[in-house]
Structure 1
Amino acid sequence: MATQTNPDVLVGILRDTVVALVRRDGPDLSARQLGVFLTVYLTDGPHTVRGLAAELNVSKPAITRALDRLGELDLARRKVDPMDRRSVLVQRTLKGAAFLRDMRSIMAGAEQQARENPPQADAAGDANAPRRAG
């Protein structure tokens, strides 16, 4: 049976993960780049620019720009499809696998922290609502 997690907890885990990734000495990916990266690493391939664009519902040029950055960082690479030389395959890299492993570790730590210190709801019921001076 799956457990249901409070959306505020999930957003907190996402925030803590993104902040940890930004603070560490390593790649700083945009949301689009991270979306492309995670799609390549968490879904079965083979992946193509056209397929990624369709799956993420963004333009092929947007995928190409994200892949340019991921390639610069050695988190993914493009290779001509030997079966169809008009098509380009997107491949995983060892550095990308290590980045995903680090990200999973950061998220696991953020989840553990959230379990130990759950968000406290204010009177209106919104755990993360800004406090207003009155």
Structure 2
Amino acid sequence: MTMQTNPDQLVGILRDTIVTLVRQDGPDLSARQLGVLLTVYLTPGPHTVRGLAQELNVSKPAITRALDRLGELDLARRKLDMMDRRSVLVQRTLKGASFLSALQRTMSESDGTVTPMPPPEMAEAGEYAAVG
């Protein structure tokens, strides 16, 4: 039997998670950057700047700025789509997957009733770009 988490608990989990992220010696992401990261990792791809802008209902330049920061941190990277050279694909990275796993652990530790989500299924080979 699964236990329902009420809205107050969810907001508390969010707060505890953000406070933990702020206190860590890791990347400090804006809400937009975190939204882009979570969309890339938790929804099926392929992801493009245009597609992310539509899905998040923000401008393409806003997505580009978020991806610039995520790229600096190696949490996601952009790659030219070889099938359509006008399009840029957003790739997951091993460091980004590790960040997501740590985020899931932090959220689950914030409230004993919340179980961590399994890592996102990787539908195709090469979903994570090599690091190093």
Relative to the length of structure 1, the TM-score reads 0.81
Separation (CA, whole Å) in 2 of partners of 1:76 and 1:113: 30
Separation (CA, whole Å) in 2 of partners of 1:12 and 1:108: 12
- Where structure 1 has 5 or more consecutive residues not aligned to the other structure, the ranges are 115-134
Separation (CA, whole Å) in 2 of partners of 1:93 and 1:51: 19
Shift of 1:113: 8.0
Shift of 1:81: 0.1
**What's 2:57 paired with?**
57
Secondary structure (helix, strand or coil) at the match of 2:112 reads helix
Separation (CA, whole Å) in 2 of partners of 1:44 and 1:32: 19
Secondary structure (helix, strand or coil) at the match of 1:112 reads coil
Letter in 2 for 1:103: L
**What's 1:96 paired with?**
96
Asked which structure has the greater CA Rg, the reply is 1
Separation (CA, whole Å) in 1 of partners of 2:43 and 2:113: 28
Separation (CA, whole Å) in 2 of partners of 1:109 and 1:52: 30
Change (3 A) 1:72 1:91: same
The 8 Å contact of residues 75 and 96 in structure 2, kept in 1 or not, is answered as: yes
**What's 1:25 paired with?**
25
Separation (CA, whole Å) in 2 of partners of 1:14 and 1:61: 27
Structural RMSD (CA): 1.5
Secondary structure (helix, strand or coil) at the match of 2:26 reads coil
Separation (CA, whole Å) in 2 of partners of 1:102 and 1:78: 23
Separation (CA, whole Å) in 2 of partners of 1:58 and 1:9: 29
Separation (CA, whole Å) in 2 of partners of 1:101 and 1:4: 22
Shift of 1:111: 1.6
Relative to the length of structure 2, the TM-score reads 0.83
Map 1:69-108 onto structure 2 (within 5 A). Answer: 69-108=69-108
Separation (CA, whole Å) in 1 of partners of 2:43 and 2:75: 15
- Where structure 2 has 5 or more consecutive residues not aligned to the other structure, the ranges are 115-132
Secondary structure (helix, strand or coil) at the match of 2:111 reads helix
Separation (CA, whole Å) in 1 of partners of 2:54 and 2:41: 17
